[in-house]
Amino acid sequence: MDLSLKPAATAVDAVRGTLAEHFGDRLQSGTSFCEQHANTATGRGTQAPDMVVWPETTQEVSLIARTCWEQGVPLIPFGAGSSLEGQLNAPLGGVSVDMSRMDSLREVLAEDLIAVVGPGLTRKRLNEELRHTGLQFPIDPGADASIGGMCATRASGTNAVRYGTMAENVLALEVVMADGTIIRTGTRAVKSAAGYDLTRLMIGSEATLGIITEITLRLRGIPEETIGGVAGFPDLQSACAAVIIMVQIGLDIGRVELLDPVQIRACNAYSGLTLPEVPTLFFECGGTDASARDTARIFTEIAEEEGALSIEWTAAREARNKLWQARHDSYWAALALRPGCKGLVSDACVPISKLAESIAEARADLDARGLTGTILGHVGDGNFHVVLMTDPEDMDEAAQVADFLKGISRRAQAVGGTCTGEHGIGQGKITSLADEAGASLAVMRAVKAALDPRNILNPGKLFGDLA
């Protein structure tokens, strides 16, 4: 990391002075504020910004950007702090722009299945506020992330097999560019062929091209009936084979998640489940009463053909919620297997035909290295995670973990997959992105240089040399 790129202290002070004048005590420079606004969710190290500011309007975000632009000082938007690849770290210092006060549900257009939200609104609160409408925003990365952060990292999660990722569920954005210019991308129409798809360019750009200040989301009707199921399998291969068949025949899967025996053990202990410790699919389907039942019936047939040891179904809301809450808590459940440790999570996504072998290789590598980890996956899209419980003080183990994670990415890329299905690049996968992108990395850099020529937007992420 080339620290000569750090802005001069005088530039940082100039930004602080200008912003303090406008923001008053909505600007803070204390160490604890600053450290809370860097990476906190994982075992990755913390690099704190120089100050934190809480804007309340797009105009205020524009003022922050203009001020930073003039002085060449970095700025890093902060949502809910749940990113996993160090996206919030400030290797060159600068300004953390905390979006938590821009968290309103600004508009619901129920007839058009559209909601307009501030970037700081979290997905759980959005769905609470939508409850009376019969509509939902189904993208569900597990953590109660902010919608702005979910856009920035192109998040997805358990519902993506049915509803897609953030890329398929954002219609329009308001974005503050590096120099403070405010633009709008997209429209309220569900599709458009009008020029470059700047919405999708911004989604997944990890705040290196612009700061998202408003999001127009697609909503979905809550299905009339939802049925949940759990199926245990004798081995990984048969669980994956069942999912492959479901995807191939176009079965209307709501979500389908794989948990390996170690993860099941963790969930049993953490969430009070009593599942057999075997490779297990959590499954959910929704629709009309008849279609949901039909889907469940076909799931059962396929699972039985692939040798499922047990299949249980429930349409009861409470039982389903308990299961999915356990799935969502699986990161914490995994960490509880080794108290006092920190978590690091891999995020490969492979063509579904390669999933079983990819997971088996990951397990073999884990065991060969003597690392503690659980495996779980959004198997409907070939995305799986290894949750590693690591002792950050143990340098030998840290090196093993780093090698293990690189191996996961490399093997995924070798079978035509990607080093990240939904967590993004951040600081953690810069070399993996370079490997994966090849000659297209230069195109990404050209876009970055064109839209942020002073490299003030979240520097040190995606690309290796802080550019």
Residues 40-79 that bind a copy of itself (CB under 8 A): none
Minimum separation from the CB atom of position 216 to a copy of itself (A): 9
Of 26-34, 42-50, 231-239, 424-432, the window that binds a copy of itself (rule: CB under 8 A) is: 424-432
212 contributes a contact to a copy of itself by CB under 8 A:
no
* Residue whose C-alpha is closest to residue 60's, from 18, 11, 90, 31: 18
Positions in 13-32 near a copy of itself (CB under 8 A) = none
Rounded to whole angstroms, the Cα distance separating 96 from 100 reads 12
- Return the residue of 29, 40, 46, 291 that touches a copy of itself, per CB under 8 A: 291
Return phi, psi of residue 96, to 5°.
Answer: -85, 125
Who's near 341: CB < 8 A, 6+ residues apart? Answer: 43, 335, 372, 389, 390, 391
Task: Say if CB 65 and CB 176 are below 8 A apart.
Answer: yes
Positions in 300-359 near a copy of itself (CB under 8 A) = 347, 349-353
Sign for the CA dihedral angle at 271, 274, 276, 282 comes to: negative
- Length of the chain, in residues: 467
Positions in 395-414 near a copy of itself (CB under 8 A) = 412-413
- Return the residue of 437, 454, 466, 467 that touches a copy of itself, per CB under 8 A: 437
Nearer Cβ to a copy of itself (91/204): 204
Give the contact letters, 124-163, x = binds to a copy of itself (CB under 8 A), - = no: -----------x-----------------xxxx---x---
39 contributes a contact to a copy of itself by CB under 8 A:
no
Q: How many CB atoms lie within 10 A of CB 131?
A: 10
Nearer Cβ to a copy of itself (211/337): 211
Positions in 168-207 near a copy of itself (CB under 8 A) = 168, 177, 181-185, 187-198, 200-201, 203-205
Task: Say if CB 251 and CB 304 are below 8 A apart.
Answer: no
Which residues make beta-bridge pairs with 108? Answer: 115
Positions in 250-279 near a copy of itself (CB under 8 A) = 250, 252
105 contributes a contact to a copy of itself by CB under 8 A:
no
Beta strands 280-287 and 255-259 are antiparallel
- Return the residue of 271, 295, 330, 427 that touches a copy of itself, per CB under 8 A: 295
Distances (CA, A) of 116 to 18, 91, 148, 219: 31, 33, 12, 10
Minimum separation from the CB atom of position 264 to a copy of itself (A): 25
Nearer Cβ to a copy of itself (38/203): 203
Nearer Cβ to a copy of itself (392/407): 407
Q: How many residues line the site for a copy of itself (CB under 8 A)?
A: 98
Cβ neighbourhood burial of 134 (10 Å; 0-12, 13-18, 19+)? exposed
Task: Say if CB 265 and CB 277 are below 8 A apart.
Answer: yes
Of 27-35, 318-326, 331-339, 426-434, the window that binds a copy of itself (rule: CB under 8 A) is: 426-434
Nearer Cβ to a copy of itself (78/384): 384
Rounded to whole angstroms, the Cα distance separating 7 from 9 reads 6
